[in-house]
Amino acid sequence: EVSTDDPETAFCTLANREELNHEEDSIHHCLYQFTRNETLTETNKLLCDVCTQRHCGPKNNIKSEKNCVYTNAKKQMLVSLAPPILTLHLKRFQQAGFNLQKVNRHIKFPEVIDLAPFCTAKCKNVAEGNTKVLYSLYGIVEHSGTMRSGHYTAYVKMRAMNNHLSDLVLRGQSQALETEPIKGQWFHISDTHVQPVSVSKVLSSQAYLLFYERLL
């Protein structure tokens, strides 16, 4: 299903995405690539109902594929509703010939991330005038090993309850909060082994899943 929008704002975002430092091998670069503007041409052309009706006439019952009119178009995937919990799943495999190969390189990610450059200008649960949609990191899943075998571990931040997040989940309301990461102690969990770790250790992990809670 294709949803139409005002052409003036259809490809606009809450914050200027071109000012981002989307360094390669960073989560910002991943998000930038995932939400980039794409041109649909040739075999990827879009079926246009309006063009088809103009070609065949509004009263004709179009049953044949030959009568359908396809046109060049632009497509962009943006966030239309900022979630209370932001979960980012990194693709950790790539095609190598006829086989799948695990991607082991480190992807940089911040403690606080701003989703605004990847949100539509009319994001539904962002107050008018806000140009930031901030999230604080609180959990990571890491995988070590290969595509055939390996081990999952986790990093979790023990922190105070986020009452504003509860309001957002229960009532859909978001209030302005501090822009710093939520304070707490990080722990590394591997099976039954749990030990405290530093923030630098957390940020150097090979993340597979990232969990952020909304601040603003």
The residue among 95, 117, 102 whose CA lies nearest residue 33 is 117
Nearest to 85 by CA among 172, 214, 179: 214
Short-list 192, 93, 185, 89, CA closest to 141: 89
With respect to residue 195, please indicate whether it lies within any of the assigned structural domains: yes
Flag whether 11 is in a domain.
no
List of E strands, 44-171:
46-47, 70-71, 73-75, 85-89, 93-96, 99-102, 112-114, 134-145, 150-159
Domain membership flag for residue 144: yes
pTM score of the predicted model? 0.81
* 182, part of any domain: yes
Q: Is residue 167 part of a domain?
A: yes
Q: How many domains does the chain have?
A: 1
**Where residue 173 sits, what CATH number does that domain have?**
3.90.70.10
- Is residue 24 situated within a structural domain? no
Q: Is residue 22 part of a domain?
A: no
Examine residue 207 and state whether it is found in any structural domain, yes or no.
yes
* Distances in whole angstroms, Cα of residue 2 to Cα of each of 5, 34, 75, 77, 103: 10, 19, 10, 12, 34
Structure tokens at 127: 């107050």
Domain boundaries, position 200: 80-214
Question: CA 72, CA 40: separation in Å to the nearest integer?
Answer: 6
pLDDT in tens, 110-169: 999 999 999 998 888 888 888 899 999 999 999 988 777 889 999 999 988 776 676 777
pLDDT(192) > 60: yes
